[in-house]
Amino acid sequence: MSHRISRRRLLRNAFWGGAGILALQSGTPAAERSPNERLRLAFVGAGGRGQANLQALRHHDIVGLCDVDERRAGKVFEEYPKAQRFRDFRKMLDALHAQIDAVVVSAPNHIHAPASVMAMRLGKHCYCEKPLTHSVYEARVMAQVAGEKKVATQMGTQIHASSNYRRAIEILRSGAIGSIREVDIWTMAAEGGGDRPKETPPVPPGLDWDLWLGPAPWRPYHPCYLPRQWHFWWDFGGGVLGNVGCHFMDLAFWALELRHPRTIEAQGPPVHPETTPRTLTVRYEFDARGSFPPVTVTWYQGRRSPRVERGEAPPWEPGFLFVGDSGMLLVNYSKRLLLPESKFADFKPPAPTIPDSPGHYAEWVAACKTGSPTGCNFDYAGALTEMVLLGNVAYRVGKKIEWEPATQKAKNCPEADAFIRRPYRPGWTL
């Protein structure tokens, strides 16, 4: 069955090649800003990903820098001596909201929603690293607030802007491999596990541990959490799935116009109350969507797809394998391959229909200035993040959950509520 797009649908999705039912959020109306004007930016998180985002946006005016760890951010502070420095993003936004146009959030996952929502409620455009949020509930709030405030938004899944993804989608939608009912996504990354340390060493100079914890439950400082191992503690991150799931599942989510899964089931090692699993398999089942049939998307963490193990596809890392009734398409960040190769030796790819992106950051900057669309706006990114994080929810409850998106409830599993929305520490709100 071919999934060629009607002329009306093609026109509707022409700019970014179509998230289909996914609404494109826009930013400030074009009349309000010149396309050549520099943005005035504030950054929540200046080290790590914050430093990379600063480098990408360095040609704009860096007005404020916020980081709770002066050791990690000290050199960055020195590179931008004119920027005002803060430890608490709430104080920064209170002090600078009249002096900035947009906010870039590059802090750990559990800070994403509190910082981004506060910025958007102040009418500021927002760029936030992936995953968009730490919890399923926060993802929905982020999308709602972005839509209400009509600000320009972009999640930091930079690969979404690649030409390779666009050409892969064109092949898939041309009907070359027929109807797609299965997608296998894998990574050999296997990190996580372990118990909370009993030692309570002193907090290093320059680190505000209380602010680093933010809305998460209080615990003593230990170096096992920083600078990146926090990803593998439930209070702060979502493990390998939470860390890279939005990257690796993005192509399937976009190409097949996915939104909310009907059921989610996960298998892995025994659940640890504190730390995320090293290995994990998650099965997401989606109903039919327009001309797209029902599809099952399976996440393999710490192992490759069984189809790779059987020799049906090469062991790319990571790999995204679309299984149709007439063939398969294997994709990763930089390349794509139709399988079996002998069948598609003479295949001619369809003419490009999805315009190339000017660049992931450039999309967002243009949206801030002119109101043009972005590919990973928070409506799209919020739904993608919900899907990804529901895999962790299903794993932690230990059963197949039936998802009801309108209420954000697992209708067969009330115990999932505790993992869908996390409580905040006193003094912190969304």
Q: Residue 292 phi/psi, 5° resolution?
A: -90, 130
Cis bond upstream, residue 131 (ω within 30): yes
Task: Work out the mean pLDDT of the chain and round it to a whole number.
Answer: 93
* pLDDT at residue 31, as a whole number: 35
Strands (E), 175-250: 180-187
343-367: average pLDDT? 98
pLDDT of residue 11: 29
Letter string b/e over residues 174-212, b meaning 16 or more CB atoms within 10 A of that residue's CB: bbbbbbbebbbbbbebebbeeeeeeeeeeeeeebebebb
What are the boundaries of each domain within the chain? 1-18+162-355+379-430, 19-160+359-378
Sheet holding 61-66, edge to edge: 84-86, 61-66, 40-44, 102-105, 125-128, 153-155
Q: Is 353 in contact with 4 (CB distance < 8 Å)?
A: no
Longest dimension (CA), the chain: 65
DSSP state of 192: -
CATH of the domain spanning 1-18+162-355+379-430: 3.30.360.10
pTM for the full predicted model: 0.91
Using CA atoms, how far apart are residues 370 and 377, in angstroms rounded to an integer? Answer: 15
Confidence of residue 33 (pLDDT cuts 50, 70, 90): low
pLDDT of amino acid 183: 99
- Please give the average per-residue pLDDT across 115-134, as a whole number: 99
**Which residue bears the tokens 């089931």?**
265
Q: What is the mean pLDDT of residues 14-35?
A: 37
Which pLDDT belongs to residue 25? 35
The CB density around residue 374, as the number of other CB atoms within 10 Å, is 32
Model confidence at 395, pLDDT cuts 50, 70, 90, reads: very high
Quick check: 206 and 71 in contact, CB under 8 A?
yes
Average pLDDT estimate for 135-153:
99
Beta bridge mates, 275: 233
pLDDT for the residue numbered 187 = 98
What's residue 119's pLDDT? 99
The CA angle 82-87-93, to the nearest 5 degrees, is: 75
Rounded to an integer, what distance in angstroms lies between the CA atom of residue 4 and that of residue 350? Answer: 11
Question: 195 by DSSP, 3-state: which?
Answer: coil
Q: Return the pLDDT at 169.
A: 99
Contact 37, 98 (CB under 8 A): no
- What value does the mean pLDDT take over residues 288-313? 98
CATH superfamily for 19-160+359-378 is: NAD(P)-binding Rossmann-like Domain (3.40.50.720)
